Amino acid sequence: MASSKWVALVHFVSLLSSVLTCSSSPDPAGFLQRAKESEFLDWMVGIRRRIHENPELGYEEFKTSELIRRELEAMGIAYKYPIAVTGVVGFVGTGNAPFVALRADMDALPMQENVEWEHKSKVPGKMHACGHDAHVAMLLGAAKILQEHRDELQGTVVLLFQPAEEGGGGAQKMIEAGAVENVDAIFGFHIASDLPVGVVASRPGPIMAGSGFFEAVISGKGGHAAIPQHTIDPILAASNVIVSLQHLVSREADPLDSQVVTVAKFQGGGAFNVIPDSVTIGGTFRAFSKESFSQLKQRIEEVIVAQASVQRCSATVDFIAKERPFFPVTVNSNNLHGYFHKVAEQMVGSNNVRDRQPVMGAEDFAFFTEVVPMAYYYFVGMNDASNGPQHPPHSPYFTVNEEALPYGAALHASLAARYLFENHAPSPSKANTHDEL
Q: 130 among the known binding-site residues?
A: yes
List 109's β-bridge partners, or say none.
Answer: 127
User: C-alpha distances in angstroms, 128 versus 50, 57, 85, 104, 132?
Assistant: 11, 9, 20, 14, 7
**Do 145 and 35 meet the contact criterion of CB atoms below 8 Å apart?**
yes
**Do 425 and 433 meet the contact criterion of CB atoms below 8 Å apart?**
yes
**Do 160 and 103 meet the contact criterion of CB atoms below 8 Å apart?**
yes
d(CA 81, CA 97): 21
Q: 152 among the known binding-site residues?
A: no
Q: In terms of DSSP bridges, do strands 87-93 and 156-162 run parallel, antiparallel, or are they unpaired?
A: antiparallel
CA dihedral 330, 334, 339, 340 (to 10 degrees): 30
Q: 394 among the known binding-site residues?
A: yes
Q: 422 among the known binding-site residues?
A: no
List 151's β-bridge partners, or say none.
Answer: none
Give the count of beta carbons closer than 10 Å to the beta carbon of residue 433: 11
**Do 347 and 32 meet the contact criterion of CB atoms below 8 Å apart?**
yes
**Do 222 and 277 meet the contact criterion of CB atoms below 8 Å apart?**
yes
Contacts of residue 346, defined as CB under 8 A and 6 or more positions apart, other chains included, come to 27, 28, 29, 414
User: C-alpha distances in angstroms, 199 versus 44, 345, 381?
Assistant: 19, 10, 5
Which strand (E) or helix (H) includes residue 202?
A: strand 200-202
Binding-site sequence positions for Mn(2+): 130, 132, 166, 190, 394
Binding-site sequence positions: 130, 132, 166, 190, 394
